[in-house]
Amino acid sequence: MTSDSSSSPSSSDTEFADPNPSTDPGTNSERVQSQLESMNLSEPSEVSDGSHTDYGGGDDDDDAPAEVALSNANEGGFTNGRVVREDLAETSGEEGREASLRAEHPVEMEAGEEPPSPTSSGYDGERGSSGGATSTYKADDASEDEIREANGDGDTASQHEAAWLPGKRHVHEDDASISWRKRKKHFFILSNSGKPIYSRYGDEHKLAGFSATLQAIISFVENGGDRVNLVKAGKHQVVFLVKGPIYLVCISCTDETYDYLRGQLDLLYGQMILILTKSIDRCFEKNAKFDMSPLLGGTDAVFSSLVHSFSWNPATFLHAYTCLPIQYALRQAAGTILQEVCASGVLFSLLMCRHKVISLAGAQKASLHPDDLLLLSNFVMSSESFRTSESFSPICLPRYNPQAFLHAYVHFFDDDTYVMLLTTRSEAFYHLKDCRIRIEAVLLKSNILSMVQRSIAEGGMRVEDLPIDRRLRQKASSTNNQGQDTGGPDRLRDISVGTGGPFGLWHFIYRSIYLDQYISSEFSLPVTSHRQQKSLYRAYQKLYASMHDKGLGPHKTQYRRDENYTLLCWVTPDFELYAAFDPLADKAMAIKMCNQVCQRVKDLENEVFLQGASPFSW
Amino acid sequence: MYVWCVADRNSGTLSGLNSSENAVPADAKNLRVKLVLLGDSGVGKSCIVLRFVRGQFDATSKVTVGASFLSQTIALQDSTTVKFEIWDTAGQERYSALAPLYYRGAGVAVIVYDITSPESFKKAQYWVKELQKHGSPDIVMALVGNKADLHEKREVQTEDGMELAEKNGMFFIETSAKTADNINQLFEEIGKRLPRPAPSS
Ligand SMILES: Nc1nc2c(ncn2[C@@H]2O[C@H](COP(=O)(O)OP(=O)(O)OP(=O)(O)O)[C@@H](O)[C@H]2O)c(=O)[nH]1
Ligand SMILES: [Mg+2]
């Protein structure tokens, strides 16, 4: 059934690949609009959702229709009067803007951003993995398909897949399911011939027709010599990212910024490159209709965990990493052994606790991008098999060198703490195993593993712990009491205003530019529910986007107030501070508080940041 | 000294994963051997290994990434011990090009299929061919039909497995990682078939 669907992309092609594409943007967008309508997404359905099925995760409510109203309420504070619903003329204007932005940067932009690989010729991966893999993939492709079809639905392997891959949800949905259409945020990866590669919801193979439609939109615009980046239709944003033969699409009504959604697609692409390398492009050169999805077999959990992290992990929009708070001496001890290990011919050694860094080291001149670190830890954390025993696996760091595999030795010391040793040498396993034994000896001797557990239990910085001037606190709490009389926003009304830190400080994120690291305070009252936390992150994302808008200089502050928060952002060449306060917080106090936070972070910098050893500062 | 010989023979051109720095060389009473498991994704390779090494079965066991390394020592009836250094490889298609990295220099290859899946049996045939072409010439090969507990769903007959094994000079056994049926037997039989090193030189 899957291979049958390959005919639909080509028929759509003929329908939309106009030999004389109109240059009139109006016509252009009408075609796009009709495509969107055929996707049933131009009118978001707001009918009360009887069919909404419970989702497994429970903690990720992108797909909860009930949130629609909330996120719209949030919007008020941020859009500054921008009309949310844009008609098509505006849409094409948007397109035009994006397209011209794009033109300023040649097509090679992505490649240019990446540091040239210092040792690209030295990779075993290029010979053994990338090159060899490419031809094998292709050769086996046809027979795989046949076997699959013959086996049909009774295929035990795929039954197991559903059972042992917690990542994939709603596999039985397709674009005809009402529940599928109501998901708030879809991600798709497809090939430029319209073959589905990945879909966040539903079975990729059942979405072949839908993929063909997306492909038709992209190629229609491309045939006109343009590039489609964003289409707005009602509440929906459709964001496109073209990476050679691979198309990535996000359809969202989550009220996130275009830049962030595009950044999410970039990370999704990076995750795919981490698993397969960019040499996958060659398969498409040889066979335009190449079916890539079998090559991502068993990785649904990796992608769904990444998508989930877009709503909880600030690293996904800050492009910085975070450390587990731990005593300076312990971090130093770990760093020293990791550096020794790197001196013995290991490219990167990382000691991690979940997605947080305990310490890391790199070989001389080797630099690890925070995004690579994010994708790497997401991959390891979401692939359960790493926890059963020590493993040796090819992985590619997209920012380091997207073309070649590295080889990663992964070992979990306990449920949370693990070491990753990365090398270019495919036969280095026993050496890496020895390195791990040496590292483990140091960890045992200095008792780091139990200190890590303690740090997890204690959590990171808390706004409640910030030292404050008593007199000022009194004044501040009287302000807050006032606030309670006038009434807070509905969703916070039941929680006493003014809890959290001093002067209504609820939360902050401090990002050190020089270190490429950030520290985020623990969530405290009243930002306790997952929904509130997610909404706060979305507010930060917008703040981040607006602060990083082009054409604005350094040394900036921004102060925003809406019914949910007072947000304060302060950007200097050294750091960025994002802080959320009670919506009724006093502005002068809030500014004072921000200074206090910065001071506090500086006081604790040896415990909360990895100092010196950072290979990112190259 | 079996393992050493194999490693030496290959050390020139092929760089597999061989522990050249193995501290204790094997002797006639204490064998050690590198064993690789190959087979389609989902046939139960990891379950077989975890059953053998840890005595556990986890029905929700997770798809292997790259390859996992485990070791286990057993005592045979003639009081020799065999230390298995086991490479449990990932059956996912994208890793198949990497397989040589794991089977090079291996003294034992265990090729696993799922008796309920003819597709996985086809894949087993592919691995047999591949190893005959590229494996060590004196490699001990075993063919394993796993998930024998699912007999009511059986689609690959025992005779077919036996025939494939016989044709290729392999040892054949049907196992169940779930019930532990034949798991220890599999490794004991392999141990018995290992070439014994010549008396110490
Ligand atoms: N009934 C039954 N199920 C089994 C048996 N062995 C494994 N399974 C199931 O088969 C599934 C896959 O087993 P794995 O051991 O992970 O398969 P694998 O061959 O290692 O797969 P890859 O790592 O992807 O190559 C698991 O969910 C097990 O529950 C068995 O003997 N009987
Ligand atoms: Mg496995």
Q: Are residues A491 and A448 in the same domain?
A: no
CA distance A131 to A520: 42
Contacts of A164 in chain B (CB under 8 A): 60-63
pLDDT range class, residue A65, cuts 50, 70, 90 = very low
Contacts of B119 in chain A (CB under 8 A): 147-148, 150-151, 155, 157
Structure tokens at A502: 């001093």
Q: Are residues A413 and A493 in the same domain?
A: no
Identity of residue A534: K
Q: Does B89 touch chain A (CB under 8 A)?
A: no
Residue B23 lies in a domain: no
Q: Are residues A494 and A559 in the same domain?
A: yes
A225: Cβ contacts below 8 Å, ≥ 6 apart = A21
A400: Cβ contacts below 8 Å, ≥ 6 apart = A114, A115, A117, A366, A367, A368, A369, A372, A406
Distance between start and end Cα atoms, chain A: 51
Q: Which atom of ligand 1 is nearest to the CA of B88?
A: 20
CB contact under 8 A, B93 and A275: no
Residue nearest to atom 6 of ligand 1 (CA): B44
Pocket mutation for ligand 1, best pick of B49, B60, B61, B119 (most atoms within 8 Å of C-beta): B61
CA distance B177 to A458: 41
Q: Are residues A478 and A371 in the same domain?
A: no
The number of folded domains in chain B is 1
Contacts of B10 in chain A (CB under 8 A): none
Contacts of B114 in chain A (CB under 8 A): 156-157
Nearest Cα to B99, choosing from B126, B117, B118? B126
Structure tokens at B27: 């002797």
- Which residue, of A79, A112, A133, is where some domain finishes? A79
Q: Specify which residues A218 forms β-bridges with.
A: none
**What does A547-594 look like in DSSP terms, one character per residue?**
HT-TT--SSEEEEEE-SS-EEEEEE-SSEEEEEEE-TT--HHHHHHHH
Q: From B121, which residue of chain A is nearest by alpha-carbon distance? A: A147
Residue B20 lies in a domain: no
Per the CB < 8 A criterion, the answer to whether B119 and A157 are in contact is: yes
Q: What is the mean pLDDT of residues A225-246?
A: 80
Per residue in A113-128, pLDDT tens? 333 333 332 222 333 3
- Best interface-test mutation with B: which of A161, A380, A388, A435 has the largest number of B CBs within 10 A? A388
CA distance A572 to A551: 15
Identity of residue A82: R
Q: Are residues A468 and A604 in the same domain?
A: yes
Is residue A425's pLDDT more than 80?
A: yes
Nearest Cα to A379, choosing from A403, A406, A361? A406
Is residue A2's pLDDT more than 90?
A: no
Q: Does B57 touch chain A (CB under 8 A)?
A: no
Q: Does B95 touch chain A (CB under 8 A)?
A: yes
Region for residue A64 given its phi and psi (left: phi exceeds 0; alpha: psi -120 to 50; beta: otherwise) = beta
Nearest Cα to B27, choosing from B9, B2, B52, B49? B2
Distance between start and end Cα atoms, chain B: 9
**pLDDT-above-70 percentage for chain A:** 60
The number of folded domains in chain A is 3
Spacing, Cα A276 to ligand 1 middle (Å): 24
User: Which strand ranges, in their side-by-side order, compose the sheet holding A566-571?
Assistant: A517-520, A505-512, A575-581, A566-571, A556-561
Axis-axis angle for helices A25-38, A208-223 (nearest 10):
180
Of the listed ranges A608-617, B105-114, B115-124, the one predicted with least confidence: A608-617
> What is the CATH classification number for the domain harbouring B135?
3.40.50.300
Per the CB < 8 A criterion, the answer to whether B135 and B106 are in contact is: yes
Q: Specify which residues A517 forms β-bridges with.
A: A321, A512
Q: What's the number of CA atoms in the CB half-sphere (13 Å) around residue B189? A: 17
Per residue in A275-321, pLDDT tens? 999 999 998 888 888 888 899 999 999 999 999 999 889 999 999 99
Q: Is B44 in the pocket of ligand 1 (CB under 6 A)?
A: yes
Taking each continuous run of H as one helix and of E as one strand, the counts in chain A are 22, 15
Residue A168 lies in a domain: no
Which range marks the domain in which residue B110 is found? 30-193
- Best interface-test mutation with B: which of A130, A424, A427 has the largest number of B CBs within 10 A? A427
Q: Are residues A511 and A543 in the same domain?
A: yes
Is residue A159's pLDDT more than 60?
A: no
Element (H, E) at B190: helix B183-193
CB contact under 8 A, A385 and B62: yes
> What is the CATH classification number for the domain harbouring A484?
3.40.1840.10
Q: What pLDDT was estimated at residue B19? A: 60
Per the CB < 8 A criterion, the answer to whether B101 and A128 are in contact is: yes
Residue B130 lies in a domain: yes
Structure tokens at A342: 């790197």
pLDDT range class, residue A506, cuts 50, 70, 90 = confident
CB contact under 8 A, A383 and B69: no
Q: Are residues A580 and A511 in the same domain?
A: yes
CA distance A36 to A482: 49
Contacts of A438 in chain B (CB under 8 A): none
- Which residue, of A427, A458, A489, is where some domain finishes? A458
CA distance B136 to B141: 10
Residue B22 lies in a domain: no
Q: What pLDDT was estimated at residue A168? A: 54
Q: Are residues A345 and A454 in the same domain?
A: yes
Q: Is B120 in the pocket of ligand 1 (CB under 6 A)?
A: no
CA distance A556 to A577: 11
Q: What is the pTM of this model?
A: 0.76
Q: What pLDDT was estimated at residue A586? A: 82
Please name the member of B64, B101, B120 whose beta carbon is closest to the beta carbon of A426.
B101
CB contact under 8 A, A392 and B96: no
Q: Are residues A443 and A484 in the same domain?
A: no
Per residue in A515-544, pLDDT tens? 999 999 888 777 777 888 888 888 888 888
Q: What pLDDT was estimated at residue A9? A: 34
Q: Specify which residues B70 forms β-bridges with.
A: B86
Q: Is B22 in the pocket of ligand 1 (CB under 6 A)?
A: no
Residue B139 lies in a domain: yes
Residue B10 lies in a domain: no
Q: Are residues A349 and A434 in the same domain?
A: yes
CA distance A547 to A555: 10
CB contact under 8 A, B60 and A434: no
Residue B176 lies in a domain: yes
Q: Are residues A334 and A471 in the same domain?
A: no
Per residue in A247-270, pLDDT tens? 898 988 777 888 889 999 999 999
Spacing, Cα A161 to ligand 1 middle (Å): 10
Is residue A150's pLDDT more than 80?
A: no
Residue A397 lies in a domain: yes
Residue A448 lies in a domain: yes
- Best interface-test mutation with A: which of B14, B58, B63 has the largest number of A CBs within 10 A? B63
Per residue in B69-99, pLDDT tens? 999 999 998 889 999 999 999 999 999 988 9
Residue A33 lies in a domain: yes
Pick the more confident residue, A39 or A18: A39
CA distance A302 to B61: 16
CB contact under 8 A, A136 and B97: yes
Q: What pLDDT was estimated at residue A564? A: 82
- Which residue, of A458, A486, A506, is where some domain finishes? A458
Q: What pLDDT was estimated at residue A591? A: 87
Place of tokens 């712990």: A465
Which range marks the domain in which residue A354 is found? 328-458
pLDDT range class, residue A176, cuts 50, 70, 90 = low
Q: Are residues A406 and A518 in the same domain?
A: no
